[in-house]
Every structure is written in C-alpha cells, then in structure tokens.
Chain A
Amino acid sequence: MLKILKYSFYDLMRSRWSYVYFAFYLLLGIVLLFLNNDLSKAVITLMNVIIVLVPLIGTIFGVMYYYNSREFTELLLAQPLKRSSIFLGQYLGVALSLSMSLILGLGIPFVFYGLFESSAIWDFSLLLITGTFLTLIFTALAFNIALSNENKIKGFGYAILLWLFLAVIYDGLFLMTLIMFEDYPLDKVSLIGTMLNPIDLSRTLILLKLDISALLGYTGAVFKQFFGTSFGLIVSFSVLIIWVLLPVWRISIKSKKKDF
C-alpha cells in the first residue's frame, strides 16, 4: 500500500493541478494578509473559503483522479496485490497531496507574516486541521462515488450534487426544519443536525473559536454546555474522524467486490 501511496503521491506532485491548487492558496494567503493587515480577520475570511472550496476541490479532484488513473489501476489489479491496498493507496495519495497543498499554500504566507508571535496561531491551526479533515472526507466520498459509477459523466454529476447538497441544500433544509418546529425545544436537534454534516461541523468548530461561542450561549444552556467545554471539541473531532473512517471503510469493501 505504501508503495502505491508513494507512487500516487509523486504522480500528483508532478501534476499541474497540484501546483495550481498550491499557488491558489499561496496567493489567497498573501492577498488576504496584505490587504487585511489583521490576522484574526484574515482567519475568518479564510474560513469562508475553506468551508466552501476545500470540499469542492476534494470531490472533483478525487473523482477526476480515479477516472484518469483507471488504466493504471487495471494494470495494478493484474498484479498479485491486495485490492484494498491499491485503492486505499490511491486515495491516500490524492488526499495527502491535496492536504499538503492546502497546508503549505496557506501556511507559508502566514508564517512569513509572523504567525508564531500572534495569538491567532490556535485559530489558524484549527483552520488547517479542519481543512485537512474536509479534504480527507470529501476525497473519500468522491472515491466512493467513482467506484460505484462506471459512467464518468454520472460520477461527476453525483460528485457535484453531493457537494451542493452538503454545502448549501442541507443548510436550507436544516433551517426550514428549525423554523417549522420552532415551538419545540430545538437545542439538541440543532446539535445533532450540525454533527451530521461535516461542512457544518467544521464551520461550527471554527466559529466556536472565533465569535460564535457567546452568541450560541444566548440561545440556551445546552449549546453553551456543549460548545463551551472541551467535551464539545472532543465530540466534534470524534465525529469528524468517523466521517473519514466510514467512507474509507466503504472504499475497501466496495473495491473487494467490484468487477473490472
């Protein structure tokens, strides 16, 4: 598996898209810092970008990589190799190279700007951690979609739909549910609703460290109890880890059964 991971990783490192992705984040970091001059404000703006773009790029890139390397995959399948290690190796190769572009692309300008002396370092690390989680989750979901769909167009369609659903539509449905049931106690429902969507969860996690914690406290003791403590943080991260493990587990199951 490690060999395949290494190969996929180097392959992607040489590819143009990784550089574009890396350069995009580098540029974003530099522009934000030098236009804003305020580290914590830059972190908020970055959050908006990360919440939307990282899942999108993870999904598209994952699907694209799977379909493009199909012939190579078939070649590998002819070798005496474990199927799960082939697909997991490829998945990790994509996910890690994307995460690396993200971390380096955003990290370099911030380090030059003087991140280590700033108090925003924890907010920023949290941002990068959730960004990495989102990459891992959405690349895994993309691999799942690609494995289940032979048709490229269909696969891309589903991938985009998935992103659209989790990034936008889910929140709409969530909001409508909350408004419809406004006569009932909603604290726990909204907590669970947040947990079920990795994008919402990451957003809440970051906002928690920025400005939302007191605003949330306003609505009720449950929010405050949950988000005000390290317990909330631990639960949130555990849910994110589950969100990574479930699709990865399905990749290995699905790949074992699939006909090529």
Chain B
Amino acid sequence: MNKLFIFLVAILLAQTNDAQNIEVCSTCPISTLKDAIAQAQDFDTIVIKKGTYKEYNVIVDKPLTIIGEDYPIIDGESKGEIITVISDNVTVDGLFIINVGTSYTEDYAAIRVKNSKNFVIQNLVLEKLFFGIYIEKSRDGKVFHNKIIGDAVEEYNSGNGIQLWYSKNVDIEHNFIQHVRDGIYLEFSHFCTIKNNVSSLNIRYGLHFMFSNDDVYQDNEFSNNGAGVAVMFSKRIKMYNNVFKENWGTASYGVLLKEINDAEIIGNTFEENTIGINIEGSNRIIYKNNDFKNNGWAVKVRGACYTNSFIENNFLYNSFDIAYNSKVNDNVFDRNYWSNYTGYDLDKDGIGDVPYRPVKLFSYIVNRTPETIILLRSMFIDIIDFSEKVSPVFTPDNLMDNNPLIKKNTW
C-alpha cells in the first residue's frame, strides 16, 4: 500500500513538475550557457546546439541536465575554469570543451564537480586542458565515455585527465585519456570502480592513486606512460584483467605498488615493461593468473613485503623473473609457469619434479651494482647463475616454486 502511494505521488510530481527544455544557440533568445542556467528551473534540460560558445566560470548550481547536440564547442579561451558543478543531480553530456586556463596556484579544470551527489559526466571531448574532469568531495556519480586529449609536455605545468579527491562511489568507465600528466588520479577516494578505460602516452602515470581504499580496477589498458601506474598507501583494492604494457624507460613500471595491503591482482597482463611490478612494503597481496611477458624484470621485490602469494601466473621470456634484495622470504610462489624452467616431469602430472628458483644470482648482483647489467647474457654470468642454482648462497634458499608447471597456465 505504501509503495503504491509513493508511486502515485511520483506520477503526480512528474505531472506537476513540468521540466522544460531550454535551447541554446547563437541565434536563439538565449545564446550563452550562463544565461540558460540562470533562467532554468530545477530539473530542466538545457540543449546546446552546434556552435562555438566562448564561456568560462560557468557555475551549475541547480539540478540540470546539460546536453550538447553535435558536440558544441565551449571555448574557455584559456581564462580559467570552464564548468563548475556545485549542485546535486547534474548531468553533462556531449560537449566539446577546449582551452582551459593554466594556473600555478589553482587547479583549473574543464569540468569540476564539487560537493555534489548523483552526477553524470558523459560523452565529453576535452582538448587543450589543464585538469580535465575534477571530482571533489562528491559521491555516487558516473564519469562515462569521455575522451580527453591533452598536450602536456612538462610535469610541473600540466594537470591530470580525471582526478578524484575525497570522493566516494564514483564509476569511471570507457574513458580514453592521452597526453596529460596523470591519466586517472585518485586521492582519498573509496569504493570507486574504474573500468574499461584506456590511458596512454601520459607524461607521468597512466593511473595514480593514493590513500584510496576498496576500489576496483577492471579491464583497463595502460600503455606507453612515462612511469606506468603507481598505486600507493591503499587497502583492499582489486585489479582485474587490466593490461599494462610498453612502459619502457629509465624509471618505468607496469605497476608500482607501495604500501598496498590485502589487494587482489588477478588476470592482468604485464607486457614489455622495464619492470612489470615493483613492490615495496606491500603485504598479503594475491597475484593470480597474471601474464608477465617480455619484461625487463617481471617482479621486483624491494623490501618489507610479507605474505604475498604468487599463484598460477605465467612468467614468459622476461630478462629477470624476480629480483629480491633480502635474504628473508615469506612470500609464496606456487604453480606458476616459468619459461626459463629447465626441469623435467617424469611422472607426467604436469608439475615439474625439480623446484624452480626464480631469483638468479645475477639479478642479485644487478640490484647491488646496476652497471653490471651490461654483462647480461654473457657466458660467465650463465656459469655463475648455474652454480648459484645448484647451491644458493646469496639468494634466499626457500624462495622457490615447488610446483612449477610444465605447460602454460590457461584460464
């Protein structure tokens, strides 16, 4: 009975609340977005026709739906922030926003959402930007299907593609981000979902997050970024089926994990990175069903990493599988496939009869004296690696995979 009542009231409200369409075009009575917002009632829809609108500091302070038809251009003329949303329930859809102002004291964004709930930012194209989409102290929103192409050259005078700050429950899906400082940046943002995004060719990180717990990263592609992906000081994150590739360079990582606890990293592909995963001070992480392919180092373990487990991964043709700099090992390696494994399987159960030691003596030496890398693949190195394999002295003797697989893991 109660439900029916609410339903009826809802219908009644829908009838009385005659949400209007307000059209904006250069020849219409309303020719700017600012005027349209000033004249609009709550829950109106503003339709912007094709054309160029030179506007900045547009403040959306009512629950409105702003829709662009055929991608109208909102040109900020590099004067400052372009659209700022401060009301709940705002939808911004289909705009082409260019020329965000650059400032060294304020983070001007193409579109900023501030203290609001239930926002939807979708189908935007952003170019010539400082910050792209900046979500600040907001929750329950959606950032969907945007294309952000920056022209960042230096770190100090460029901004991030999508930035979340103190936000919660935001879905970031199907965005395409290139040439900005950090593709997607999260700080103090919890319970967010980041899915199906492509973030590449950024100056610093494809994805960067700090102090952001319980987030899910899924089916994203991060490639050719200055320093790959950095994940720091976060708990209970989940990374599924992402692709991290071609982060080649002096300080590039597929993923840099620092102070990450209780995470799950499952089904990802790490391909052609200088370092696939760099782990530092990260505990209780599950690495499962990942492909590590053609990396310089597949996994580099720095220190203070305990109770991590590497289970059923494929380590394929990496120059070094694991680099490890301590003698204590508390991490588990089990049922992985190692392309460098040279053992045999007499009982034909698919599991090698000899344990595999993924840490080579040479990788230990390179850790100590990086210049020795120049001797990679030399015969002398093969000889000392072999002798270390037979009787480990420098590498932790319990760091081994007791059940190395003979055939590649498939899932």
> Which of B248, B250, B274 lies at the interface centre, i.e. has the most chain A CB atoms within 10 A of its CB?
B250
With beta carbons under 8 angstroms apart, the residue of B274, B317, B368 that contacts A214 is B274
Q: Is the CB of A211 within 8 A of B296?
A: yes
Interface residues of A (CB under 8 A from B): 41, 47-48, 51-52, 167-169, 171-172, 174-175, 178-179, 182, 186-187, 189-191, 193-194, 200, 203-204, 207, 211-212, 214-221, 223-224
Q: Is the CB of B250 within 8 A of A217?
A: yes
Closest B residue by C-beta to A181: B369
Which of B91-99, B141-149, B256-264, B374-382 forms contacts with chain A? B374-382
Q: Is the CB of B248 within 8 A of A178?
A: no
B354 at interface, CB cutoff 8 A: no
Q: Is the CB of A220 within 8 A of B378?
A: no
B365 at interface, CB cutoff 8 A: yes
Residues of chain B lying within 8 A (CB to CB) of residue A223: 374
Residues of chain B lying within 8 A (CB to CB) of residue A204: 374
Closest A residue by C-beta to B382: A48
With beta carbons under 8 angstroms apart, the residue of B250, B252, B368, B369 that contacts A224 is B250
Lowest 10 A-B CB distances belong to which pairs?
A171-B380, A219-B370, A186-B371, A182-B369, A214-B248, A215-B296, A171-B378, A190-B371, A217-B250, A190-B374
Residues of chain A lying within 8 A (CB to CB) of residue B379: 51-52, 167-168, 171
In angstroms, how far is the closest chain B Cβ from the Cβ of A149?
A: 26
Q: Name 26 interchain pairs, CB-CB below 8 A, sorted by A.
A: A47-B377, A51-B377, A168-B379, A168-B383, A171-B381, A174-B375, A175-B365, A175-B372, A175-B380, A175-B381, A178-B369, A179-B368, A179-B369, A179-B372, A190-B374, A212-B319, A212-B376, A214-B252, A214-B274, A215-B373, A216-B373, A218-B250, A218-B296, A219-B370, A219-B371, A223-B374
Closest A residue by C-beta to B246: A214
Residues of chain A lying within 8 A (CB to CB) of residue B380: 168-169, 171-172, 175
What CA separation (Å) do A174 and B365 show in the bound complex?
13
> Which of B251, B319, B378, B381 lies at the interface centre, i.e. has the most chain A CB atoms within 10 A of its CB?
B378
Interface residues of B (CB under 8 A from A): 248-252, 274, 294, 296, 317, 319, 365, 368-381, 383
In angstroms, how far is the closest chain B Cβ from the Cβ of A107?
A: 23
With beta carbons under 8 angstroms apart, the residue of A172, A187, A207 that contacts B376 is A207
Q: Is the CB of B377 within 8 A of A216?
A: no
Residues of chain B lying within 8 A (CB to CB) of residue A194: 374
What CA separation (Å) do A172 and B369 show in the bound complex?
14
What CA separation (Å) do A200 and B249 show in the bound complex?
23
Q: Is the CB of B381 within 8 A of A214?
A: no
Residues of chain B lying within 8 A (CB to CB) of residue A220: 370-371
Given A211-B319, A218-B296, A224-B250, check contact A171 B375 (CB 8 Å).
yes
Residues of chain A lying within 8 A (CB to CB) of residue B381: 171, 175
What CA separation (Å) do A179 and B371 show in the bound complex?
9
What CA separation (Å) do A51 and B375 show in the bound complex?
13
What CA separation (Å) do A245 and B289 show in the bound complex?
54
Q: Is the CB of A212 within 8 A of B373?
A: yes
Residues of chain A lying within 8 A (CB to CB) of residue B369: 178-179, 182, 186
Residues of chain A lying within 8 A (CB to CB) of residue B376: 207, 212, 215
In angstroms, how far is the closest chain B Cβ from the Cβ of A49?
A: 11
Q: Is the CB of A203 within 8 A of B378?
A: yes
What CA separation (Å) do A65 and B249 show in the bound complex?
48
Closest B residue by C-beta to A186: B371
Q: Is the CB of B370 within 8 A of A218?
A: yes
What CA separation (Å) do A61 and B374 show in the bound complex?
30
What CA separation (Å) do A189 and B369 show in the bound complex?
13
With beta carbons under 8 angstroms apart, the residue of A41, A167, A171, A174 that contacts B317 is A41
Residues of chain B lying within 8 A (CB to CB) of residue A171: 375, 378-381
Q: Is the CB of B371 within 8 A of A187?
A: yes
Given A41-B317, A214-B296, A217-B249, check contact A207 B371 (CB 8 Å).
no
What CA separation (Å) do A47 and B373 show in the bound complex?
17
Residues of chain B lying within 8 A (CB to CB) of residue A193: 374
With beta carbons under 8 angstroms apart, the residue of B249, B368, B378 that contacts A182 is B368
What CA separation (Å) do A96 and B252 show in the bound complex?
44
Residues of chain B lying within 8 A (CB to CB) of residue A200: 374-375, 378
What CA separation (Å) do A36 and B381 show in the bound complex?
24
Closest B residue by C-beta to A189: B371
What CA separation (Å) do A186 and B381 show in the bound complex?
19
Residues of chain B lying within 8 A (CB to CB) of residue A168: 379-380, 383
Closest B residue by C-beta to A184: B371
Given contacts A179-B372, A190-B372, A215-B274, 19 further A-B contacts (CB under 8 A): A52-B379, A168-B379, A171-B379, A175-B372, A178-B372, A179-B369, A182-B371, A190-B371, A194-B374, A204-B374, A207-B376, A207-B377, A211-B319, A214-B248, A215-B376, A217-B249, A218-B373, A221-B250, A223-B374
Closest B residue by C-beta to A193: B374
What CA separation (Å) do A48 and B373 show in the bound complex?
16
With beta carbons under 8 angstroms apart, the residue of B368, B377, B383 that contacts A203 is B377
Residues of chain A lying within 8 A (CB to CB) of residue B377: 47-48, 51, 203, 207
Q: Is the CB of B249 within 8 A of A214?
A: yes
Residues of chain A lying within 8 A (CB to CB) of residue B317: 41
Residues of chain A lying within 8 A (CB to CB) of residue B373: 212, 215-216, 218-219
In angstroms, how far is the closest chain B Cβ from the Cβ of A165?
A: 11
Q: Is the CB of B249 within 8 A of A179?
A: no
In angstroms, how far is the closest chain B Cβ from the Cβ of A183?
A: 10
Residues of chain A lying within 8 A (CB to CB) of residue B375: 171, 174-175, 200
Residues of chain B lying within 8 A (CB to CB) of residue A215: 274, 296, 319, 373, 376
Residues of chain B lying within 8 A (CB to CB) of residue A211: 294, 296, 319
What CA separation (Å) do A182 and B371 show in the bound complex?
9
